[in-house]
């Protein structure tokens, strides 16, 4: 059990794991572990601890918890509660998949993208749309030597530089194109549904009684 002053006992047979999994237990020898001198487990009476288990923070709503863990940690964040579709995706990732599964992390990454889209839509509905020029860092590329910082330096992310404009500007261009296409479709439907001037004139003539003069 974590968060207690006592070292948890091993629930497995180290010899069996070493024989079954190649490379398992390579750091079991204390001589090969620099952190061993710091791994000293004291009794609460020796360190002055006044608790056996720390007091847990109140859980105001069901928090996400990996299925590997028996309980939540004593302290956890509450500033960004899961909301909307992205919140449902995050809860599903924690409840369904282990942290050892790629699906767990891929769902969380997808939920982050969905969360960003939800906030973009909310900003538009509140008449405070995001500014892709100043809020994406694009302006600083020209005002703070963005190009000079990328040339002639040994940086690990150099291969990502050509992708930056596509990742930042691409979604805005795609959204603008989709909005423009949607407006054209709406205009076409409205134009097709509205009667033409000739049809209106013929309809007004046919509504006059027979023999009536102009």
> Could you read off the pLDDT of 56-113 as tens digits, one per residue?
899 888 889 888 888 888 888 888 888 999 999 999 999 999 998 999 999 999 999 9
The pair of structure tokens assigned to 52 is: 């056996």
The pLDDT value given to residue 197: 56
Instruction: Using pLDDT thresholds of 50, 70 and 90, give the confidence band for residue 158.
Output: confident
Supply the pTM of this predicted model: 0.55
Residue pair 94/67 in contact (Cβ under 8 Å)? The answer is yes
Residue pair 105/94 in contact (Cβ under 8 Å)? The answer is no
**Residue 211 CA to its chain's centroid (Å):** 74
Residue pair 119/113 in contact (Cβ under 8 Å)? The answer is no
Within 8 A by CB and 6+ apart from 91, the residues are 64, 82
Looking at the predicted structure, is the pLDDT value of residue 174 above 80?
yes
The pair of structure tokens assigned to 190 is: 């409205």
The pLDDT value given to residue 18: 85
CA distance 89 to 19: 39
**CB half-sphere exposure, 116, CA atoms < 13 A:** 10
**Ramachandran area for residue 63 (φ above 0: left; ψ -120 to 50: alpha; else beta):** beta
Length of the chain: 214
The pLDDT value given to residue 103: 94
Instruction: Using pLDDT thresholds of 50, 70 and 90, give the confidence band for residue 8.
Output: low
Work out the mean pLDDT of the chain and round it to a whole number.
79
The pair of structure tokens assigned to 125 is: 């509905």
CA distance 171 to 167: 7
The pLDDT value given to residue 127: 85
The pair of structure tokens assigned to 147 is: 């190009």
Q: Which residue has the higher pLDDT, 88 or 172?
A: 88
Write out pLDDT tens, residues 18-56: 888 888 888 777 777 766 666 666 666 666 666 777 788
3-state class (DSSP) for residue 125: helix
The pLDDT value given to residue 47: 65
């Amino acid at each position: 059990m974590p968060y207690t002053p006592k070292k948890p006992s091993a629930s497995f047979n180290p010899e069996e794991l070493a024989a079954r999994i190649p490379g398992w237990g390579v750091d079991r020898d204390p001589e090969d572990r620099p952190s061993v001198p710091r791994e000293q487990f004291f009794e609460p009476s020796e360190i002055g601890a006044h608790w056996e288990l720390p007091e847990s923070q109140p859980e105001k709503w069901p928090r996400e918890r990996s299925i590997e863990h028996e309980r939540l940690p004593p302290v956890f964040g509450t500033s960004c509660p899961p909301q909307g579709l992205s919140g449902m995706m995050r809860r599903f990732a924690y409840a369904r998949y282990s942290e050892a599964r790629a699906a767990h992390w891929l769902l969380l990454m997808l939920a982050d993208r969905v969360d960003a889209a939800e906030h973009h839509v909310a900003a538009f509905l509140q008449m405070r749309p995001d500014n892709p020029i100043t809020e994406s860092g694009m302006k600083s590329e020209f005002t703070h030597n963005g190009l000079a910082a990328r040339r002639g330096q040994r940086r690990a992310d150099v291969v990502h530089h050509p992708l930056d404009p596509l990742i930042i500007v691409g979604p805005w261009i795609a959204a603008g194109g989709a909005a423009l296409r949607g407006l054209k479709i709406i205009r076409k439907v409205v134009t097709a549904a509205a009667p033409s001037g000739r049809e209106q004139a013929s309809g007004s003539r046919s509504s006059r009684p027979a023999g009536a003069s102009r």
